Amino acid sequence: MAVGPGLQDTLLPVAGVRIGTASAGIRKKNRRDLVVFELAAGSNVAAVFTTNRFCAAPVQVAREHLRQGAPRYLLVNTGNANAGTGTSGLANARRSCDAVAALTKVTAQQVLPFSTGVIGEPLPVDRIEAGLPAALQALEADAWTLAAEGIMTTDTRPKGACRQIVVNGKTVTITGISKGAGMIKPNMATMLGFVATDAVVDASLLQELLRETTESSFNAITIDGDTSTNDACVLVATGQSGASVSREQGLDSFRQALHDVLVSIAQQIVRDGEGATKFVSVQVSGGKTVAECRQAAFTVAESPLVKTALFASDPNWGRILAALGRAGIDDLDVTGVNVHLNGVLIAERGGRAASYTEEAGVAAMKPEEIVIAIDLGRGQQQATVWTCDFSYDYVKINAEYRS
């Protein structure tokens, strides 16, 4: 189950990136579960990773290898997270990099590993090693959609976006994919995200742009409030278009296009949230700071009582007020708070709006797309968080995750 249309963009090739997929039987047979990205020599690579202290072995190894410079391959497996696996997990992550290096004649440090799936089980490296020749043989430029399918776990559909801009008369392409449907409150990026551009971008600027744009995209979504052990988002600049993006030229248009790609795939994650039937925007305005607006929005977005009311299309507005009241804004004057539900004023001055009727509230809750607009009435700042509802299927999917 998912909300709204699926993949809308044609995922255009990015010069300097080739992708290969294979079925390695890591957890399930006859499905793509191994993806290899080949990056042109000289590509710059930026990345952000999970803040979870139990970060997975591939996260630790990818960080280590990225510091050593010049990545040439990204290796992604689904079906097994290689998290909570201790020293043997680290050894297995490094062994998988060794396997790519041996087949491609690069160093192991030029391979960044990424894993997603069940936590706490040993990584079946032998299956990855056996599947690698097929993935490498399949390398081609126009395989972004296949890769989006190959990194899925409980996702019901692939997620991707693409934008093109012109910089100094040259066309620049930005293409990205992601996966994620549960255990989503990224706190840095998404479950897994891979974005590439053929622009020339300095490594330090590339890292700055990734951190900045993830804050307003992946870091503005939540499905269940759980931060994964394996979150990672990678941004690659191959430079193959010859169009240079710098602080002096092309930066604003490039930043906006990158932001659009990341917001699109972040929202696609929410639309495909496990068991989701509603796509919900929680818009908080009138705050003293952006931080308190985000704090209020996340508290409402992650409230199980709010989320179950959304699933039931029940305009139980008291749950929204209760969530706001515990959001940690200690000096919040509740008499200054107004709340709209899909344009219907449901609460004002700390209580039920005089104009509100139950019929209007029920009608406002029926659509798949819901906007909860909250005015804190205490300042000029604002923030938006995207989330979904909690349905019976969310419990079922997660109860049967290892089945």
Which letter does DSSP use for residue 218 in this model? G
**Domain end position, chosen among 271, 292, 316:** 271
**Interval 114-133 mean pLDDT:** 95
The structure tokens listed for 176 are 């990205």
pLDDT digits 0-9 by tens, 125-141: 999 999 999 999 999 99
**Interval 79-104 mean pLDDT:** 96
**What is the rounded distance in angstroms from the CA atom of residue 214 to the CA atom of residue 240?**
24
Shared-domain flag, residues 260 and 383: no
The CA angle 20-21-24, to the nearest 5 degrees, is 140
pLDDT digits 0-9 by tens, 160-178: 999 999 999 999 999 999 9
Tell me if residue 190 is catalytic: yes
Q: Does 55 score more than 60 pLDDT?
A: yes
Q: Does 189 score more than 60 pLDDT?
A: no
**pLDDT-based confidence at 399, cuts 50/70/90?**
confident
Looking at the structure of the chain, the number of domains it has is 2
The answer to whether position 6 is within a domain reads no
Residue 10 contacts residue 142 (beta carbons within 8 Å):
no
CA-based end-to-end distance of the chain = 19
Q: Does 33 score more than 80 pLDDT?
A: yes
Domain boundaries, position 295: 279-399
CATH number at residue 31: 3.60.70.12
Which letter does DSSP use for residue 274 in this model? T
The answer to whether position 151 is within a domain reads yes
Shared-domain flag, residues 39 and 172: yes
**Interval 252-264 mean pLDDT:** 97
* Coil, helix or strand at residue 87: helix
Backbone angles phi, psi at 278, to 5 degrees: -135, 140
Shared-domain flag, residues 114 and 29: yes
The sheet carrying 44-49 orders its strands as: 44-49, 232-237, 192-197, 170-179, 159-167
The answer to whether position 2 is within a domain reads no
**What is the rounded distance in angstroms from the CA atom of residue 175 to the CA atom of residue 168?**
20
Shared-domain flag, residues 125 and 166: yes
**Domain end position, chosen among 271, 290, 306:** 271
**What is the rounded distance in angstroms from the CA atom of residue 148 to the CA atom of residue 155?**
10
The answer to whether position 238 is within a domain reads yes
As a whole number, the mean pLDDT across the chain is: 93
CATH number at residue 390: 3.10.20.340
Q: Looking at residue 238, what is its pLDDT?
A: 98
The answer to whether position 5 is within a domain reads no
Shared-domain flag, residues 50 and 109: yes
Shared-domain flag, residues 331 and 385: yes
The answer to whether position 8 is within a domain reads no
List of E strands, 192-245: 192-197, 200-201, 232-237, 244-245
List of E strands, 102-157: 111-118
Shared-domain flag, residues 286 and 267: no
The answer to whether position 59 is within a domain reads yes
**pLDDT-based confidence at 180, cuts 50/70/90?**
confident
Shared-domain flag, residues 251 and 373: no
**Across-strand partners of 117?**
79
Q: Looking at residue 267, what is its pLDDT?
A: 93
**What is the rounded distance in angstroms from the CA atom of residue 209 to the CA atom of residue 47?**
10
Parallel/antiparallel/unpaired status of strands 279-287 and 381-388: antiparallel
The answer to whether position 9 is within a domain reads no
Q: How far is CA 263 from CA 144, 293, 350, in A?
A: 18, 19, 33
Q: Which residues, at least 6 apart from 55, have a Cβ–Cβ distance to it below 8 Å?
A: 49, 83, 229, 230
Shared-domain flag, residues 217 and 298: no
Shared-domain flag, residues 259 and 296: no
**Domain end position, chosen among 218, 238, 271:** 271
**What is the rounded distance in angstroms from the CA atom of residue 235 to the CA atom of residue 225?**
25
Shared-domain flag, residues 245 and 293: no
Shared-domain flag, residues 219 and 144: yes
Helices first, then strands: H and E counts in the chain: 11, 17
Kindly name the residue from 50, 116, 173, 190 that is annotated as catalytic.
Answer: 190
**pLDDT-based confidence at 190, cuts 50/70/90?**
low
**pLDDT-based confidence at 302, cuts 50/70/90?**
very high
